[in-house]
Each structure stands twice: as structure tokens, then as C-alpha cells.
Amino acid sequence: MLKTEKRETETDILISAEKSIIKHGIDKILDALVGISVIAELVILFGNIVAREVFGVSLLWANELGQLSLTFIAFLGGALAYNRNEHIAVHAVIERLPQSWKPSFFALVDWLVFAGSIIGAYLSIEIINSRWEELSSVLEISMGWFVLPLLLGMTLMAIFALLRLKEQKRFPVLVTAVLVLVTAGIIVWFNEMWGPFGTSHLVNWITMIAFVVQMAVGLPVGFVLAIVSILYLYLSGSGDLMVVPMNMQAGVSNFVLLSIPFFMFAGYVMTEGGLSRRLADFVVSVVGRVQGGLYQVIVVTMYVFSGLSGSKAADVAAVGATLDPMLRDKGYDPAESAAILSASAVMGETIPPSLPMLVLGSITTVSMGALFMAGLLPALVIALCLMVTIYIKARRSKKYAGTKIPFSETVKCTVAAIPALLVPALLVVGIVSGIATPTEISAVAVVYAIVLATFFYREMTWQKFWKTVSDTAVKSGMILFITSTASAFSWTLTAANIPQTIAELMVSVAGHTDWLFMIATVVILVVMGALLEGLPALLVFAPILMPLAPIFGITTLQYGIVLLLAMGLGCFFPIIGVGIYIACSVTNTKVEDTSHAMMPYVVVLFIGLLLVAFVPWFSLVMPQMMHLI
């Protein structure tokens, strides 16, 4: 009997090892494919810029290849992100459940991913068949190729979900499988017996409950948006289910979205290539002498870094990892440091090339150049509010006096940082002058950062370079996948007349009072930014709320900046915002301690946000000076 049990155990170990090898092998292949797509598109775009500016020849096929690469990055990168557990999900509910309950919820999430992926793959096959004879305008290749990455990505996610389920305890997996099947059966039976129900309140309530439940159980946000869209269309009968994958593919066809992986690429290169450290040393030498010392340095460094990477997660990780050892050595309170790091990250949402800014520009009619210029002063307002608060607190507590840095050291740090500081200047001048598109400028920023890291600072090795490519593939794949599903979700909201309903509600509540409308906007976006993890809140609510701004006499440009800042505050709001968890992870502090320390800064952030909301000059003066509006 003991021998049999031993053999069974050894067999289980072998099977588990085989599954791990398969999963790891697929992961490596995917990593290479998406990474090559990123590098290939970088070469094509940069080559197009050189060909146009030097030889006067434009590569017309570059845009089509860019769109094809973008779909590969979005859907294969999205699958890679799911395999590595990098997708954004709401964990506030799950983390507070008893430990014994969690395996069932983990299994439920993977079954939902499997079901959603299978449906998505099946529907995408129909789209490929319907578009196979349609040819692209320049390369004249089948448009089916542009949908194929969606099919591959959905299939891979289904495979990864099954592999993850096989690694979990058998009982929770079986119980949740039955739950999903029974629920699906009830929905089908209900719809066949009495449906479709049209755009009724019943369907809206069922869809809303499904949305909340899936968010609460920790299903990745991208899958929540896709499954809810399919559920609504199925129950209402207001559109063919093929609309969902069609909108997902169309949602990442906007060429400007290609700047997202490139800006992230530039940020990772700066971190791995030593540019970030030089910038931090420069800020310390200049600002470290002010009362509040290194706390002031955090704010200024975050302002500078936000204009380089575009990703608040990358900003927090880079600044936190660079300054945390220095802060601890000088005796600064770790919880206070994490709180200031979180508060400073909020302003990064309006500093170009912020990823939410790029997404907002791609899903609305706001000029990208005007949006970039409009965000600089509002971010500075937030930064000054925080710095004044730090100064007052430091003076009252008689702690954290500034550190005097020798002039020679300041000069040395400044000279070392100047090449890296040219990156934001390059971005702003390039986009505002119209020399190149934001996407092309992002490609130039990547190449410039790689050259600096490799030949000037000499810290970029092949291993570090591939790490930056891999990180870019995963993070940008996750963001683009959410963008694609949010496009389908936005279409569904429109079909359900939700924007019209919300518009009528806002007008009825606020009347034509602009300040009441603005306060309602701030509250909604802060709450939704905390619950939906920031970017998804923007994708869902921006298309709904932006058209309402002119009704209240508010320019869409200023309103867009307010949306970005409110969403950013929600993302770092204690204790539910995902951003504060990132800051605590980087600084190795407890969320409870950091949340307590952050409350005064939350008040200050609200004051800064209201200043931006009710003083349009902050958002409009720079675009007006540049003749962008």
C-alpha cells in the first residue's frame, strides 16, 4: 500500500513537472515573438523617420505593419501577461477573505478566463472568415491577418487557464467548474425561454450585477469588460456577438497606441541603463538642500521621471528603488516616504508622455499635442502643493533639514544628467512642432535612451536589454488588451443607452451649474479610479463624460486633465487604490502605516485637484501659448 502511494506521488510530481515545462516553454516562445514584434516595429518606425527626413521618402507600408504589430503585442502580449499573472484585477475583496476560501475563488477566476477566451476565439474565427477576402490598402494583404493575433491570443489564454487549473487543488476546481456550467446553463435557458429582452432595465441590472461580481472575485479587468459585453449583447439581442471581437480588434488599430509600448520601453531602458540613477543624483544635489530634504527630492524626481517613462508603475518602482536606501540611511520614516511617493505619482498622469494621456487622446477627439502641453502646469500645481506641505511639516517637527551639497558635486551631477534630461525636451519639441507624430517621437526616445545607456553611460548589457524588451512586452500587452476590451465595452454601453442616461442624470442633478458638475466628476473618477484600478476607469468613463463638458461651458481639454488627475488620485487612494500597494511593495512598508501617513497628503491632493478644476488657466495657458487651441 505504501509503495503504491509512493508511486502515485512520484507520478504526480512528474506530471506537474511536465506541465511546468510546457507552460514555461510556451511562455518563452511567446516572450520571443512579442519581443521581436516590439523590436521590429521600432526598427521600421525609426527607419521611416530617417527615410523621410534624410531622403525625403516615406514608407507608406509602415503604418499597416505598425497596426499588425500592435495587434500581436496586444493579444499575444496580453496572453503572456496572463500567464505571468500581470493583469490588473481588483484584489481588495479577495485579500480580506479567509485563507481557506481563496483556492475556490482562484479556480473560479481561471474558469471564467477559460470560458471567455473560448467564446472570444470562436467568434474571432468567424471574423477571420468574413474578412479573409478583404485586402489592406497598401500592402494588399488579407485583413484576416489583422484579426489572427486575436484568435491566437484567446486560444493561448484558454490553454494557460487550463494549465493553471491543473496546478490547483482538485476539489475547488471541480466545484467552481460546476458553478460556471450551471450559471451558463441558466443564462442560456432563461434567454431561450423568455428572451431576447432588448434594452430593458432587467438586462441592465443583470449585466451590472455580473460586472460587480466578476470584479469582486478578482477576475482581470480586461476579461470582465469582454464577458460583460458578450452577456449584454446575448441577453438584449441588440447586436451580433461578433461585435465584441470586432471592436476589440478595432480598439487597438489606432496607430497612436503604438507609442504606449515604446514609451514603456524607454522607461525600462532608463532604469536598467543607469539614466534614472543619474537623474536622481541630479535632483538630490539641487533640491536636497530645501527643508524637508529627501522628501522634497521624491516630489521633484517623480515630476522629472513622469516625463520620461509614461508609466506610473515604472516611475514608482524606479524612484522608490533608487531613493529608498538613501532615505533609510538618513533616518527618514519609511511609511511617510511611501506616502509621499504615492502622492507624487498622482501628478504623473498629466505629465507627457503619460500612458493614460495617450489613451485619452486615442479614444477622444482631443489633440494629443494640446493635451501634452495642457498637463504640465496642473502637474506643477500638484507638485508645489505637496512641497509646501512637506516644508511646513518639516519645519513644525524640526526634522529633515536640507542637506548642503558642495557646488562641485552639483555641477558634476548636472553634467552627468544633462543627456537624460534632454529626453523630455525631445518629446515636447517633437510633438508640439509637428516634426513627427507621438508614435514616431516615442520610437526616437527609445533609440536615444538605448544609445545613451549603451555608449555614454555604458551600463546596458545584452541581458539587461532583453529584460527591458520582455518587461515591455508584458506590461504593454496587458494595457493594450484592456484598451481593446474597453473599446468593446464602450460600444456596449452606447448600445444600452448608458451614456445618454448618465448625461440626463448629470444634467438633472447639476442643472447647468458647472461647479456642481465638476465636483460630481471628481468624486466619480476618484471612486472609480480606486475600484477599477485607474486606466480602466478612464477607458469606461471618458467616452461617457467628455461629451458632457461643453454642455456646462467647460472646454474638453481642461476637462480631460481633471479626469486624468482624479483617476490618478483614485488609483493611489488609501487603502483600496492599487498604486499604494505598488509603493509599499517598492519601499517594503505596511499598507496600513502608509495609508495613515498619506491622509494629510490626500487632503492636499484634493485641494490641488480642485484648483486645477476651477481655474482653467492652469490647463489652457500652455496650449494657447503654443497656438495649439
For residue 209, being part of any structural domain is answered with yes
**CA-based nearest residue to 450, from 267, 178, 255, 212:** 267
Query: Which distant-in-sequence residues (6+ apart) come within 8 Å of 356 by Cβ?
Result: 349, 534, 535, 538, 564, 567, 568
Compute the half-sphere exposure of residue 218: CA atoms within 13 Å on the CB side of its CA.
20
204 and 183 belong to one structural domain: yes
For residue 283, being part of any structural domain is answered with yes
231 and 329 belong to one structural domain: no
For residue 364, pLDDT beyond 50: yes
Count Cβ atoms within 10 A of the Cβ of residue 558 and give its class: 0-12 exposed, 13-18 middle, 19 or more buried.
buried
Count Cβ atoms within 10 A of the Cβ of residue 560 and give its class: 0-12 exposed, 13-18 middle, 19 or more buried.
buried
503 and 420 belong to one structural domain: yes
Reported confidence tier of residue 274, pLDDT bands at 50, 70, 90:
confident
pLDDT at residue 310 in the model: 56
What single DSSP character describes residue 452? I
pLDDT at residue 19 in the model: 58
And the C-alpha cell for 195?
A: 428572451
pLDDT tens profile 277-306: 788 788 888 887 777 778 888 898 888 877
pLDDT at residue 378 in the model: 94
For residue 8, being part of any structural domain is answered with no
239 and 276 belong to one structural domain: no
Mean pLDDT of 434-449: 79
For residue 11, being part of any structural domain is answered with no
276 and 382 belong to one structural domain: yes
pLDDT at residue 8 in the model: 42
218 and 330 belong to one structural domain: no
What's the gap between Cα 611 and its chain centre?
26
pLDDT at residue 586 in the model: 75
How much of the chain exceeds pLDDT 70, in percent? 92
Give the chain's mean pLDDT: 83
Query: Could you list the residue range(s) of the whole structural domain that residue 243 is in?
Result: 18-253
pLDDT tens profile 176-218: 999 999 999 999 998 888 878 877 788 888 888 998 899 888 8
Mean pLDDT of 76-87: 89
Spatial distance between the Cα atoms of 554 and 144, rounded to a whole number of angstroms = 42
pLDDT tens profile 574-591: 877 777 877 887 788 887
DSSP secondary structure letters along 475-515: HHHHHHHHHHHHHHHHHHHHHTTHHHHHHHHHHHHHTT-HH
Spatial distance between the Cα atoms of 533 and 539, rounded to a whole number of angstroms = 11
What single DSSP character describes residue 273? T
pLDDT at residue 184 in the model: 92
- Ranking 59-68, 130-139, 389-398, 419-428 by mean pLDDT, the lowest is 419-428
For residue 437, pLDDT beyond 50: yes
Of 198, 232, 253, the position where a domain reaches its end is 253
For residue 2, pLDDT beyond 60: no
pLDDT at residue 252 in the model: 84
For residue 313, pLDDT beyond 70: no
Reported confidence tier of residue 309, pLDDT bands at 50, 70, 90:
low
Mean pLDDT of 528-547: 76
pLDDT tens profile 215-238: 888 898 889 889 999 999 999 887
**CA-based nearest residue to 229, from 42, 494, 465, 516:** 494
DSSP lists the bridge partners of residue 135 as 142
Reported confidence tier of residue 70, pLDDT bands at 50, 70, 90:
confident
248 and 276 belong to one structural domain: no
For residue 339, pLDDT beyond 50: yes
Reported confidence tier of residue 516, pLDDT bands at 50, 70, 90:
confident
How much of the chain exceeds pLDDT 90, in percent? 20
- Number of structural domains (the chain) is 2
171 phi and psi, to 5 degrees? -65, -50
Contact 223, 116 (CB under 8 A): yes
What's the gap between Cα 121 and its chain centre?
24
What single DSSP character describes residue 135? B
125 and 269 belong to one structural domain: no
The helix-helix angle for 2-55 and 62-83 (nearest 10°) equals 160
For residue 6, pLDDT beyond 50: no
267 and 241 belong to one structural domain: no
For residue 329, being part of any structural domain is answered with yes
239 and 132 belong to one structural domain: yes
Of 221, 253, 285, the position where a domain reaches its end is 253
**CA-based nearest residue to 369, from 467, 256, 262, 242:** 256
For residue 462, being part of any structural domain is answered with yes
**CA-based nearest residue to 32, from 40, 43, 21:** 40
Of 231, 253, 275, the position where a domain reaches its end is 253
313 and 186 belong to one structural domain: no
**CA-based nearest residue to 560, from 424, 378, 432:** 378
pLDDT tens profile 14-34: 445 555 677 778 888 888 888
pLDDT at residue 1 in the model: 40
Please report which residue ranges of 352-406 form alpha helices under DSSP H. Answer: 355-363, 368-374, 376-397
The helix-helix angle for 578-587 and 334-347 (nearest 10°) equals 140
pLDDT tens profile 155-184: 999 999 999 998 888 999 999 999 999 999
| 281 compared with 340, residue with greater pLDDT | 340
pLDDT at residue 382 in the model: 94
For residue 561, pLDDT beyond 90: yes
For residue 196, being part of any structural domain is answered with yes
Compute the half-sphere exposure of residue 331: CA atoms within 13 Å on the CB side of its CA.
3
pLDDT at residue 11 in the model: 45
- Ranking 84-88, 257-261, 444-448, 561-565 by mean pLDDT, the lowest is 257-261
135 phi and psi, to 5 degrees? -110, 150
Contact 215, 576 (CB under 8 A): no
**CA-based nearest residue to 448, from 318, 308, 319:** 308
SS3 helix, strand, coil % of the chain, rounded to 5? 80, 0, 20
Model-wide pTM > 0.75: yes
pLDDT at residue 534 in the model: 65
Spatial distance between the Cα atoms of 559 and 415, rounded to a whole number of angstroms = 39
pLDDT at residue 20 in the model: 67
For residue 13, pLDDT beyond 50: no
- Ranking 410-414, 506-510, 553-557 by mean pLDDT, the lowest is 506-510
For residue 401, being part of any structural domain is answered with yes
452 and 529 belong to one structural domain: yes
**CA-based nearest residue to 400, from 389, 388, 390, 414:** 390
For residue 4, pLDDT beyond 60: no
pLDDT at residue 617 in the model: 94
Reported confidence tier of residue 604, pLDDT bands at 50, 70, 90:
very high
